[in-house]
Amino acid sequence: MTKELRILMLEDSPTDAELILRELRREGLEFTHVRVETEQDFEQQLRQFGPDLILSDYGLPTYNGLFALAAARQAHSEIPFILVSGELGEETAIDALKCGATDYVLKGRLSRIGPAARRALREAAERQQRRHAEQALRRNDEYFRALIENAMDLVSVLNADGTIRYESPAAQRILGYAPSELVGRSAFDFIHSDDRPRIQAVFRENITSNGTLAVEELRFQHKNGSWRALEVVGHNLLHDPIIHGVIINSRDITERKALEAQFLRAQRIETVGRLASGIAHDLNNILTPILSLIPLLRQELTSPKLKRSLETLETSTWRGTALLKRLLVFARGEGGQHVPLPPRRLVEELGRIVQETFPKSITFRADLPADLARVTGDETQFHQVLLNLCVNARDAMPAGGVLTVRARNVPLDARVERFHPGVKAGPFVRFEVVDTGQGVPPEVLDKIFDPFFTTKEADKGTGLGLPTALAIVQHHGGFISVRSEVGKGSVFEVYLPAAPAPAEEPPPEPATTAASS
């Protein structure tokens, strides 16, 4: 930063305040600060201190972080506002973001406060620069064009009816369209049908007045058919004799929305996992005596009918214990001994099982390079992950098709740590399980890793296969991603950290197999 920051803290705990300030200094920020505890002092310092950044606790004895947010937004709408609390729930956090909070940090994870503050300040500076640029657009049309030709955000000029008159080159990068493909068409035609009525109403309401249009979020269709989440702000210049249009600035927030959804899903799965672990232990204690008594009952019974009933009881009980084991693996992601494992052997064993048990209409293929690195972990669990994905692929191809398992060495940089908490940058091995089956509908894709969610019939799936596979992979420091298109199949990618290469081991021969199974 080029100047000393002014930070206003709404915090009633001096100890917590000092911990927060220590993390900010550790981030390299230079600042002066004022700490307040009451509503009166907070609003007074908003006027007098002129803060560059506001850090606010959520729950105070006589005040509330959301009230403080409302006061800050009314007085200084552009100042970054970060909630720092030890009791912020999911719904409250989402409400705070919707009300204009820049970010939120739990007191149990104060290591995030420094990066969050730096990011918030950077984004505030970017917003300020963008606002100044919009003011300059009115003065000189040539300067306007020279500026937005290199803008990272999407800049559009709309007529009063929503027709696109100008589109910046960023449309190609963000939306896949050349600007000429959008000019002359209505912007509303590309907006998701669920968002369109709201956006049209806001647009109609605001073009009747001069000034800035409300900031809105919407889904805009990419040229490839997918939906991009955009944060849109507009400025009504219909009255301007040069522009005579509505300037729309759109920022692609698809990744940010995905991160928010991933964070909420992780919290939800963690909660379900803790619940499942407790239930599994209790039920296991109930089923163990039943399994112990069945052999004794079998010796005493003479009736063939009762013996068959006893066999049914035993089978059902063993199925119950197997389900409990899957619940525990899902809940804890625990495994046995972690040792370096050659992916080639895992895939070859998997191929034998597929060829022996899957329908003959399914062709299995393996594609492994000669220099494929090893992975470290529990062999049984890795085998379970890959087999589970192959079984799902089989079920997606009832009429037959091609099942391909391939692996590659891939380096992942620090960006992976932003999207997958707990994953460290470095060399990875990426396994891909590819099928040519029915594909997963977009409305279902975000739910497939949720515990107990299944599209199969009640007696053909428990909804624990993919959550368990995800838990195992995350326990080993990796992650799973999926791409799918209805009617064209799915690609499940399993990323696992690569193990250090053993000394002086000759590289194996490349494996490429194709077998009808």
Which of the 8 DSSP states describes residue 64?
B
Q: What's the rounded Cα separation, in Å, for the pair 371 and 369?
A: 6
**pTM of this prediction?**
0.41
Closest alpha carbon to 269 in 450, 92, 405: 450
SS3 label, residue 436: coil
In the structure encoding, which two tokens stand for residue 282, read together?
């209790």
Closest alpha carbon to 503 in 343, 337, 340, 338: 340
Q: Which domains does the chain have, with CATH numbers?
A: 5-128 (3.40.50.2300), 138-252 (3.30.450.20), 257-332 (1.10.287), 339-516 (3.30.565.10)
E-strand ranges in 62-139 read 81-85, 103-106
CA dihedral of residues 307, 311, 316, 319 (deg, nearest 10): 160
Give me the DSSP letters along 10-46: E-S-HHHHHHHHHHHHHTT--EEEEEE-SHHHHHHHH
Which of the 8 DSSP states describes residue 109?
G
SS3 label, residue 474: helix
SS3 label, residue 250: strand
Beta-bridge mates of residue 515: 364
Tell me, what amino acid is at 317? T
Check residue 185 and give its pLDDT: 92
Q: What's the rounded Cα separation, in Å, for the pair 429 and 462?
A: 29
Residues 6 or more apart whose CB falls under 8 angstroms from that of 346 comprise 379, 382, 383, 386
Kindly report the CA angle at 377 between 372 and 380, in degrees rounded to 5?
A: 100
Mean pLDDT, 10 residues at a time, the chain of 517 residues: 79 90 90 91 89 88 86 85 81 82 87 90 85 67 63 84 89 89 92 90 80 78 88 85 84 77 58 58 66 73 75 70 58 60 85 84 91 84 84 89 93 85 89 91 77 57 70 86 89 91 54 46
Check residue 281 and give its pLDDT: 60
| Total number of residues shown for the chain | 517
Beta-bridge mates of residue 431: 407, 494
CA dihedral of residues 51, 55, 57, 60 (deg, nearest 10): -10
Check residue 277 and give its pLDDT: 58
Check residue 1 and give its pLDDT: 44
100: left (phi over 0), alpha (psi -120 to 50) or beta: left
Check residue 140 and give its pLDDT: 60
Which helix (DSSP H) or strand (DSSP E) does residue 158 occupy? strand 154-158
In the structure encoding, which two tokens stand for residue 483, read together?
């791409």
What string of H, E and C letters represents the secondary structure of 71-137?
HHHHHCCCCCEEEEECCCCHHHHHHHHHCCCCEEEEHHHHHHHHHHHHHHHHHHHHHHHHHHHHHHH
E-strand ranges in 213-321 read 216-221, 227-237, 245-252
Q: What's the rounded Cα separation, in Å, for the pair 154 and 178?
A: 12
Which helix (DSSP H) or strand (DSSP E) does residue 211 occupy? strand 211-212
Q: What's the rounded Cα separation, in Å, for the pair 326 and 267?
A: 20
Check residue 379 and give its pLDDT: 78
Q: What's the rounded Cα separation, in Å, for the pair 179 and 170?
A: 8
Phi and psi, residue 313, nearest 5°: -60, -45
Q: Measuring CA to CA, how many Å separate 412 from each of 225, 260, 475, 479?
A: 28, 21, 18, 12
Tokens 């470095």 correspond to 426
Residues 6 or more apart whose CB falls under 8 angstroms from that of 416 comprise 423, 425, 479
Which of the 8 DSSP states describes residue 238?
T
Check residue 515 and give its pLDDT: 44
Check residue 97 and give its pLDDT: 85
